[in-house]
Chain A
């Protein structure tokens, strides 16, 4: 058996530093480089968190504070999530054709064949 499973990681995380299968550690192997974190901001109550960008920080507490300073200084948010970038796993861009294209001609999956009453909002 010689099956190779290739993992794809988000952003600019080198594969050997990526998490998932390795024990969790916030220490980057490069002493001068702080780990990268992804920042999600909720702009107001009731909405969901949206990816805002990324930043460097030594730990989660500092990541939240840095996110506050970098991404909410113009009143963009009411809530912040951070996650270390290495824990985000991404789909393989070379497989995009087989992953997403098959959905393109299946219009019946869209709920566009129903007449909605006018009173119904937020659909």
Chain B
């Protein structure tokens, strides 16, 4: 049961933190239309995280009837060490190239993951995956076109994309190294073994990189930890932003 809930919270945290990061572009996008595009994606991700949090809250409340967990308490009242998001989602946005490259990496991962979660024995997870897949398909289309446009664009845009790859690549490995609760959830038929997605993920990244004339990095050391609550220093600042209001004015509504 714990692994089951941890697994859902991991899915929720990853989408919430990426949503929060993307939302930082709101009002700062390179052009109005792209500002709206990245904000739309941010809202899609927020929607996905809400479904996962709501589901986790229901399970937690069923398990422990004295508690009153809600999607809000899960998002606003947990500390860094309790967050199980992928490290890549909490990294700073960097420039536009780095933001869209991260979106591309995560969207491809989500598309493969959600495909598999359609078969989850937890029908609620399967339903969320099904709903999210349509959104994710668009996120891939949008972000991959940007990767190609910038990689295959000017000298400067190409250089910036290479920098972005160098900044982000070490954080892609974490997707495919399952945490204990993932292994457990996979055994129960609720989740999947994320290691099995690695090859397909690379196979989806390579053609886009090749069209974008971008290099696929060699095997390098991969950063791990986010899934089990060991984060970069950035997460604390994100949570400070995200949780300030509920921490200072508990229960505040507007």
**How far is it, in angstroms, between the C-alpha of A40 and the C-alpha of B145 when the chains are bound?**
22
- Asked if B248 is at the interface of the complex by the 8 Å CB criterion, the answer is no
The segment from A2-10, A56-64, A100-108 found at the interface with B is: A56-64
Q: Is B115's beta carbon under 8 Å from chain A?
A: no
Q: Which residue of A lies closest to B30 (CB)?
A: A34
CB neighbours of B93 from chain A (8 A): none
In the assembled complex, A122 has its CB within 8 A of some CB on chain B: no
Among candidates B33, B40, B142, residue contacting A56 with C-beta atoms closer than 8 Å:
B33
A73 interface residue (CB < 8 Å to B): yes
B36 touches A56 (CB 8 A): no
A66 at the interface (CB under 8 A from B): yes
Q: By the criterion CB–CB under 8 Å, are B32 and A56 in contact?
A: yes
Bound-state CA distance A1–B80 (Å) is 80
A69 interface residue per 8 A CB criterion: yes
Is B40's CB under 8 angstroms from A57's CB?
no
Interface flag for B37 (CB, 8 Å): yes
Question: Is B33 within 8 A of A57, CB to CB?
Answer: yes
B166 at the interface (CB under 8 A from A): no
Inside 8 A of A61's CB, which chain B residues have their CB? 145
Q: Give every chain A residue within 8 A of B34 (Cβ-Cβ).
A: 66
The chain B residue sitting closest to A32, CB to CB, is B31
Q: Which of B33, B40, B149 contacts A55 (CB 8 A)?
A: B33
Known contacts A61-B145, A62-B145: A69-B31 contact under CB 8 Å = no
Chain A hits for B142, CB < 8 A: 65
Shortest CB-to-CB span from B36 to chain A, Å, is: 5
Contact with B along A31-72 (1 / 0, CB 8 A): 000100000000000000000000111100110011011100
Query: Do A69 and B37 have beta carbons less than 8 Å apart?
Result: yes
Q: CA A57 – CA B115 in complex, angstroms?
A: 32
Determine whether the beta carbon of A65 is less than 8 Å from that of B31: no
Shortest CB–CB separation between residue A53 and chain B, in angstroms? 11
Candidates A34, A62, A73; contact of B40 at CB < 8 Å: A73
Tell me if B37 and A65 are in contact (CB < 8 A). Answer: yes
Query: Which residues of chain B have C-beta atoms less than 8 A from A57's C-beta?
Result: 33
| Residue pair A66, B145 in contact (C-beta under 8 Å) | no
The residue in chain B whose Cβ has the minimal distance to the Cβ of A69 is B37
Give Cα A123–Cα B30 distance, bound, in whole angstroms: 48
Q: Are the C-beta atoms of A66 and B40 separated by less than 8 Å?
A: no
| Distance, CA A57 to CA B32, complexed state (A) | 10
Chain A hits for B141, CB < 8 A: 65
Chain A residues near B (Cβ < 8 Å)? 34, 55-58, 61-62, 65-66, 68-70, 73
List 24 A–B pairs whose Cβ atoms lie within 8 Å, in order of A's numbering: A34-B31, A55-B33, A56-B31, A56-B32, A56-B33, A57-B33, A58-B149, A62-B145, A65-B37, A65-B142, A65-B145, A66-B33, A66-B34, A66-B36, A66-B37, A68-B138, A69-B33, A69-B36, A69-B37, A70-B32, A70-B33, A70-B36, A73-B36, A73-B40
* Additional A-B contact list (16), CB under 8 Å, known A65-B142, A69-B40: A55-B33, A56-B31, A56-B32, A56-B33, A58-B149, A61-B145, A62-B145, A65-B37, A65-B145, A66-B33, A66-B34, A69-B33, A70-B32, A70-B33, A70-B36, A73-B36
